[in-house]
Amino acid sequence: MKLLDGMTAIITGAASPRGLGKATAQLFAQHGARVAILDLDADEAAEAAADLPGDGHTSGVCDVTDKAACDTVVADIIAQWGQVDVLVNNAGITQPLQLMEITPHNYDAVLDVNLRGTLYMSQAVIPHMRSRGQGSIVNMSSVSAQRGGGIFGGPHYSAAKAGILGLTKAMARELAPAGVRSNAICPGFIATDITAGKLTDAMRAQVLAGIPMGRAGTADDVAGCALFLASNLSAYVTGSEVDVNGGSLIH
């Protein structure tokens, strides 16, 4: 059963081979979706799109902190496909800084890509989704938003990802009457390119000790949750935050 047959999806920050966005794009394509991969590098985005199973996929360059760029690329995709059913706001950056190390530049960079980018891309697709009376927006938050860090990103990363949770719920409340859903995923410790090689053995052991399932998550673990939220299996789910963390927040 292909859960996204006939549907189209835009996924931001999806060119990294071992990233959450690429894994999500792969799974969406396997389930019948046409996928548009957006990233900062044109060649990397095109290569990632060409690697997807099935036909009709596309790619584009987009700096999600640039509202005009978001509007333009979404308009181009709508013109090409005639519809956008799903937006996955995956683009994000992190910095492993402590509180007093965060400079204005650090704060702006992390808040802009993670939080401002989620807003701008959502604003770009919402009029189209509203006009069709349907659509699913999936935002990537983090367990760091819920527990105040403690894994990899600094306090400004926790703040940005917590902002995404508030934005997700506010969007859900406003858009639900139009048939547009908005949900967030909160991954825990996931083995991706962002953390590869940046954790000492001691840091990794400490993180794993706090995960009841005893292992790091994979990009595919997060992609499976995104597939659920994108598909009609979650037709009555909006304003939710879904934990994908191996039990890290069990109290």
> Tens digit of pLDDT per residue, the chain (251 long)?
899 999 999 999 999 999 999 999 999 999 999 999 999 999 999 999 999 999 999 999 999 999 999 999 999 999 999 999 999 999 999 999 999 999 999 999 999 999 999 999 999 999 999 999 999 999 999 999 999 987 779 999 999 999 999 999 999 999 999 999 999 999 999 987 666 566 678 877 888 888 999 999 999 999 999 999 999 999 999 999 999 999 988 75
Active site residues: 157
In Å, what is the CA distance from 163 to each residue of 131, 136, 156, 188, 195? Answer: 27, 19, 10, 17, 22
What tokens were used for 68?
Answer: 């005009």
| Sign of the CA dihedral running 142, 146, 147, 153 | positive
Give me the residue label for tokens 């527990």.
Answer: 147
3-state secondary structure of 91: coil
Note the pTM of the prediction, 2 decimals.
0.96
Give the distance from CA 238 to its chain's centroid: 16
